[in-house]
Structure 1
Amino acid sequence: MTAILVTGADLAPQAVKLLEGHELVYAGKTPTEDDLVALCRAHDPVAIIVRYGKVGAAVMDAAPSLKVISKHGSGTDTIDKVAAKARGIEVVAAVGANAAAVAEQALALLLACAKSVVALDARMHAGHWDKATHKSLELGGRTIGLVGLGAIGLRFARMADALGMRVLGFDPYAKNLPAHVQAADLATLWAESDVISLHCPLTDENRGLLDADTLARCKRGVIVVNTARGGLIDEEALLAALRSGQVSMAGLDSFAIEPMTAGHPFQGEKNIVLSPHIGGVTSDAYVNMGVGAAKNLLQVLARQTAASC
């Protein structure tokens, strides 16, 4: 029986059923590289399903039978794709499996920022009634700039359009955009957007995409939403922009270093709404991502088996 390593503590039962006939080896919720190397040496998996942790060359070299690395989700930045290609290992992702969940989280963070949901909730619980002094932001008629127009970005674009927002989008790989998304270059997107929302994968080219320079080119008082990858934002620059008022609010679901530890500069900042990278964590997305990851790796294994016959 061939082994499949899961870099997590579990898989959806529907995914487990698809993988019957294989030995599933679970690495736990917070596997280190050393943990994964040890498990690969012990079980020599033919496939790895990546939920948590990073899979680099050392892990791959510890599994000589490894043929495919399948992401439990869409973002493959935690997989060393160059190392995988050099070793003839395919990397696949369950693209779109959590699109609805992440887009909804982006909408929740946007509304929380625009409508001061967290601050007003705290004030109400403390016994205050701020009706006479508080004014929220109306989103209808304002412009939102989306960086990344894959399954998540396009789904969120529909939501923004339904709110009556003008939607600008930047994605050099996107084709045949819907009528409600206006293609724009980054310079235009920074200059014209009242809200900027990130929906692109993290690459070496776009790391720190939102930094002091780009934030300075944005409208004063812009709202920033990030449900993609924390490395897209220079966190120190964002904090400075929030404190100066260049950025009015930020809704963040991902961070440069995860999990966030006590004492992080974002903690306690009144103009940041935080969530612990749970945009794609819903009961439905959990099933969709598990099934997608299982189907993807089985397709690769089947194709490679057929090719070798």
Structure 2
Amino acid sequence: MSAILVTGADLAPQALELLEGYDLVYAGKAPTEEDVAVLCKAHNPVAIIVRYGKLTAAMMDAAPALKVIAKHGTGTDTIDKAAAKARGIEVVAAVGANAAAVAEQSLALMLACAKSVVELNDRMHQGHWDKANHKSLELGSRTVGLVGLGAIGRRFAKMADAMGMRVIGFDPYAKDVPGYVKVVDLDTLWRESDVVSLHCPLTDDNRGMLNASALAKCKRGVIVINTARGGLVDEQALLAALRTGQVASAGLDSFAVEPLAAGHPFQKQERVVMSPHIGGVTGDAYVNMGVGAARNLLAVLAHA
């Protein structure tokens, strides 16, 4: 029986039904690169479903039967795609499977920042009543700039439009953009946005795109939301902009290094609202991503 390796501890039952007839091997919730390489060598899988951790050339070389790498989700930056291509291994992603979940997390973080939800909650629990000296930001009629207009960006755009926000977006690859989104260049997006929200994959070309130069072009008091990849943001530049007030607040679900290291400066910055990269982690998305990954790899294996 051919093996499929999962770099995680489980898959949705609906995905398991699709993969009946294959031997499923699980690497666990926090597999190291060595763990995965050992399992590859022991089981020689025809497919790998990537949930956690990286997938490197060494792991691929340990599995000579490997035909396809399927991402349990949309972001493939943890997979060495160049190495896969050189070895004739196809890389596929469950595009759109977690779009609703991540877009909702983006909305939650934007609202939390604009309405000081976390700060006011903490103050209330401490016995304070700040009605006389607090003003929240009203988002209706404000401009939100979306970097990336794929499935997640478009879903978030629809939510923002429904709130009465002006929606602008940058995505050189987007086609058939909805009419309520005005496509602009990146400099215009930085300059005109009251909220900047990142929804693009991480590539060598856009790594650190939200840097000191970009932040300096933004409106003073801009809100920054990132539910995409931490590597898109120059974290030191963002911290500096938060300290000067150039950035009013930031809602972050992804970070340059994950898990977030103990003592990270973000942990001491009150105007940063954080979640542990769980934007795409919902019951529905878990099923959608598992089923999407299973269908994708089966399609490749059927033609291998």
Q: Same fold (TM over 0.5)?
A: yes
CA distance in 1, matches of 2:260, 2:8: 19
The aligned residue for residue 193 of structure 1 is: 193
Structure 2 letter corresponding to 1:165? M
By how many angstroms is 1:163 displaced?
Answer: 0.8
> C-alpha deviations, 1:48-80, integer Å up to 9, x for none?
000001001000000000000000000000001
The aligned residue for residue 215 of structure 2 is: 215
By how many angstroms is 1:261 displaced?
Answer: 2.1
Secondary structure, aligned partner of 2:92: strand
CA distance in 2, matches of 1:260, 1:220: 27
The aligned residue for residue 232 of structure 1 is: 232
> C-alpha deviations, 1:229-275, integer Å up to 9, x for none?
00000000000000000000000000000011210110021100000
TM-score by length of 2: 0.99
The aligned residue for residue 174 of structure 1 is: 174
By how many angstroms is 1:276 displaced?
Answer: 0.1
CA distance in 2, matches of 1:259, 1:25: 25
Structure 2 letter corresponding to 1:97? A
The structure 1 segments of at least 4 consecutive aligned residues displaced by more than 2 Å after TM superposition are none
CA distance in 1, matches of 2:85, 2:213: 35
Structure 2 letter corresponding to 1:295? R
Secondary structure, aligned partner of 1:83: helix
The aligned residue for residue 270 of structure 1 is: 270
Structure 2 letter corresponding to 1:270? E
> C-alpha deviations, 1:76-118, integer Å up to 9, x for none?
0000111000000000000000000000000000000000000
Structure 1 letter corresponding to 2:59? V
Secondary structure, aligned partner of 1:267: helix
Secondary structure, aligned partner of 1:182: strand
CA distance in 1, matches of 2:100, 2:193: 23
Secondary structure, aligned partner of 1:266: helix
User: Quick check: 1:59 aligned with 2:59?
Assistant: yes
Alignment map for 1:79-98 (pairs within 5 Å)? 79-98=79-98
Secondary structure, aligned partner of 1:76: coil
CA distance in 2, matches of 1:144, 1:5: 41
> C-alpha deviations, 1:18-75, integer Å up to 9, x for none?
1010000000111111111100000000000000010010000000000000000000
> C-alpha deviations, 1:172-230, integer Å up to 9, x for none?
00011111000000010000000000000000000000001110111110000000000
User: Quick check: 1:160 aligned with 2:157?
Assistant: no
- RMSD of Structure 2 on Structure 1 (CA): 0.5
CA distance in 2, matches of 1:268, 1:274: 11
CA distance in 1, matches of 2:176, 2:45: 40
Structure 1 letter corresponding to 2:224? V
- Aligned identity (percent) is 78
Range 10-19 or range 65-74, more displaced: 10-19
Alignment map for 1:1-309 (pairs within 5 Å)? 1-304=1-304
Question: Which consecutive unaligned segments of at least 5 residues does structure 1 have?
Answer: 305-309
TM-score by length of 1: 0.98
CA distance in 1, matches of 2:289, 2:303: 21
CA distance in 1, matches of 2:105, 2:141: 21
Question: Paired residues, what number?
Answer: 304
